[in-house]
Structure 1
């Protein structure tokens, strides 16, 4: 056998050793990456667990003071483990590179939040207590809120940047578990941003609304959910709240019967609104929330109050009995002059149904409502409400669009931009597609106490620049079988041409901006008229009307073609059972 020449043999050995060396280096690199990824995962998991414990009770910011440093230690370690030169070099490789980039981006975002965004709030939290927000002799000290403003604004900005970096990750190239992690972290960061941004906005706006820079007057309007309007219910009672240097006092009160009808409307309405709603929102105080835009409701209420009393209010605030029930969780039960004990458990049924069965005269009903308002206000002003529970109650009401605020001052109102407190029309943009479902009573009654409104939305096709989205809306009448025998003030007594016991509902379906109707039909146990409608501020509006008797239901099925976005949602009239309504099945099989 002839042996290989020494030169070739030597070359062969060099190639072999080179390949072995490269393989060893590659294995070492992947071992390095693997170990560091495993350690980083451990730190991120620890940070997530601690964050969830904090998130379980966000009503008191002092809870986070001990937890945030622990979270920051974990996120800093994860960021260091996923940002060394070896890791960065491997990020440039195909397939595995996007996985590593996603992990390092998540680690960096989490560390930015823990180490940069929350740290200033922790420093403030060491000296801040919610008990300082308790009013003393009817006066709030706004200084603690003002001390939080800068830290909260900085924190909101940093969290917003972190959330944007995670949302920018291209999940299409990621493994399924990592895709899920990116989605979950993105949602968590969005929620954190919303919470801190709310603190920042409150710290800026609340001192001003409490009269820190001069006296203010706000008209509080109470929406009655037993008689639906788009934003909640008819306005049946109003009261002025006066603030000055942190002190709060009740001013004049009025019921809907104290407002006269305005020939031609109290302020001009646009042609678009007139085509859909006629001029009723500008004629009657009961109808100011019929158009689902609280900025218009605020202007209408301000103008009506000025015409009736000569007083110009600085803003308008809307609440409903459900909000009052949440507040009563913080104040505890209150005893009314009638002897009734108003509590979080009975506020809705007592104020929206029992009072109408007890009193036939509207003036007596109004007196009952005024007494309830005064009793709850007195307990709030005396500092008997638990601050943490009260903040949680108002936050819940705001998220359910039951608490709405309009400031006449444009700068003050701009602070609320992007929040549910403004009661804006549904927004569709590059990140979200939103339908609007707004129910209105057409019976002139309090029968909506028994009505149930459910809705669902979903994509009917995946991906692409445009997709089909479906909206399903169901109305069900849960009134007792003998509803016709209820007091006439509840049934309407046939005053608007509707037989007692029948509930007429008009629903305005706001379709996403830029969408095209594919089909729209109604189904159910009753026959309804076809869709009417118009257009409002770039949104196609379908109007749907139905008459229901106890036990009957009707469903609207709408399918539209619209640009595909990551988020699809529906904005709905808040009813007394919004939080626990039965689910309705989404249907993409719409024809018609």
Structure 2
């Protein structure tokens, strides 16, 4: 009898150990998948088969990851349901623990199976040809249907009771519950975002297009140097002619300024001067103003506003392939994803184009790209992935006058709003030149320990001006009559910080701007950086102890700003969360 008991205990131990190992591995695999974590950009990017995005493994790898997790959970479920373990389930206390683990494991197997099935369906949709623009509308609708099915499957998941569990089993239950909630949130956000994309593509929709030039930066995007409209109907895009904003100055105010905008930037007349609309990074506010100003100039009402820059055009070219553009001099230039940034941000200024033709060039290229978008086979998943990826870096921003549509842009992360915990660095060009591509900006974030309920945060910013001597005056400046120096970068270094920030300091010579700016505060100093030199400016401020993280929001610079924060190193690609307790 003792031998039988020993054998039984050995079998039980083997099954329980194998179940635990399989369950842990499945949990880790699932946690690392693109579906868990509430990251809508990763979820949407995982469905992209266009090659324009580079998600973590793409849709095929995402499905394989989920299938691997499902195999682990199924093995754990099988082990826990083995005949050897069955007698333990009737025991009052031990049995409750084993049953609880079994229910969590079964639920995890159900989740991974449903997710893998959904990804498989999305893989088929992504591979389906979209030779006609209207098919993109259908593809978005089909994608929503798949995700709604996954959401329904998740709603039926039952993790079992969480009462009277030992600490390890309770932690397992809580971890599973958190993962389910994150996955449900991610899927719900994706559905809301895709519904907005579907509505936008179905149309008819007319948006004001603000063409931003990364060679002359404002806060969180390039300066708006051209305006036009895009009308979308059944997936087809039609762009109007573009007008240089230099020719669109309003003789009187075309919109209202909210109190913060008026207090911080009112002297620059952002209600009349299009090129000063985005001195603040609050795109939701500057877009509202732009729509008003467009109507005030006699050009009609629009449904929303899109800001696109050179990087967005580059990513569109990754989808469409090369396009040919005929310049005003009759020369045919081929633009592709490899050369468009260099051509538009730098090399166009060395051509014999007249200044007014140079201003039109971004709009001309954009029109050619959208014509190609209408004519060529572009998967809807590629477009959606481009939207989320470019939006994360603020190279593409969208605003809608319709609150329902606006919520979709917010869910997709392309609304250009700053979260309350935002930290955003901007170097605003005030020299009337095109020197931003030659500026290298790096930032180091440091945090002191908590003292008297507050902690001190410093951001040390280094700006290096690598502008060469041979730049033409249109690029190197200065503006005629300004008294400036050719090749010198003159601007405002601005930092958006949480509204709870106090005691701001700067190592520069005083403040150019300081005060509330919507959900955040802005602090900024004037800077002047001669060609071939560097300048370092350090900002400081205090935060209450309960502010335990900052979200560093990209500023859309090209080249992008590089950051360090303790052991963290990154170049601005998407919002990056920095835990403040890690510096103690």
TM-score range, shorter chain: 0.7 to 0.9
Normalising by structure 2, report the TM-score: 0.76
**In 2: Cα distance, 1:334 partner to 1:278 partner:** 41
- Asked if 1:520 corresponds to 2:505, the answer is yes
Of structures 1 and 2, the one scoring higher in RCO (CA 8 A, sep 6+) is: 2
Equivalent pair of 2:254/2:292 in contact (CA under 8 Å):
yes
Q: What is the CA distance between 1:254 and its match in structure 2?
A: 1.6
1:227 to 201, 216, 221: 216
1:461 to 442, 449, 452: 449
Structure 1 residues 105-114 or 534-543, which shifts more? 105-114
**In 2: Cα distance, 1:540 partner to 1:49 partner:** 35
Equivalent pair of 1:326/1:394 in contact (CA under 8 Å):
no
Deviations 1:232-261 (A, max 9, x none): 111111221112233332224222133123
Aligned to 2:396: 403
Q: What is the CA distance between 1:207 and its match in structure 2?
A: 2.5
**In 1: Cα distance, 2:446 partner to 2:412 partner:** 23
Q: What is the CA distance between 1:105 and its match in structure 2?
A: 10
Give the length in aligned residue pairs: 530
Equivalent residue runs for 1:499-578 within 5 Å:
499-517=485-503, 520-522=505-507, 528-530=509-511, 532-550=513-531, 551-564=533-546, 567-578=549-560
Q: What is the CA distance between 1:404 and its match in structure 2?
A: 0.8
Distance change >3 Å, CA 569–CA 58, structure 1 → 2 = same
Equivalent pair of 2:449/2:455 in contact (CA under 8 Å):
yes
**In 2: Cα distance, 1:266 partner to 1:79 partner:** 65
2:122 to 116, 122, 125: 125
**In 1: Cα distance, 2:313 partner to 2:266 partner:** 32
Distance change >3 Å, CA 67–CA 41, structure 1 → 2 = closer
- Asked if 1:37 corresponds to 2:20, the answer is yes
Equivalent residue runs for 1:115-514 within 5 Å:
115-117=113-115, 119=117, 121-122=118-119, 124-125=121-122, 128-132=125-129, 134-136=130-132, 139-153=134-148, 155=150, 196=187, 199-212=190-203, 215-263=204-252, 265-279=253-267, 280-337=269-326, 338-359=331-352, 361-385=354-378, 390-428=383-421, 434-457=422-445, 459-461=447-449, 468=455, 470-482=457-469, 486-493=472-479, 495-514=481-500
Distance change >3 Å, CA 275–CA 199, structure 1 → 2 = same
Q: What is the CA distance between 1:435 and its match in structure 2?
A: 1.6
Larger radius of gyration: 1
Distance change >3 Å, CA 42–CA 369, structure 1 → 2 = closer
Q: What is the CA distance between 1:316 and its match in structure 2?
A: 0.8
**In 2: Cα distance, 1:87 partner to 1:341 partner:** 75
Normalising by structure 1, report the TM-score: 0.75
Secondary structure of 1:501's match? coil
Unpaired stretches in structure 2, ≥5 consecutive residues: 1-5, 36-41, 50-57, 82-87, 568-579
Equivalent pair of 1:331/1:386 in contact (CA under 8 Å):
no
Q: What is the CA distance between 1:26 and its match in structure 2?
A: 11
Q: What is the CA distance between 1:547 and its match in structure 2?
A: 0.8
Aligned to 2:39: none
Distance change >3 Å, CA 228–CA 110, structure 1 → 2 = farther
Unpaired stretches in structure 1, ≥5 consecutive residues: 1-22, 429-433
Root mean square deviation, CA, Å: 4.6
Distance change >3 Å, CA 557–CA 298, structure 1 → 2 = closer
Q: What is the CA distance between 1:47 and its match in structure 2?
A: 5.8
Q: What is the CA distance between 1:124 and its match in structure 2?
A: 4.0
Q: What is the CA distance between 1:43 and its match in structure 2?
A: 4.3
Equivalent residue runs for 1:68-87 within 5 Å:
68-78=66-76
Secondary structure of 1:427's match? coil
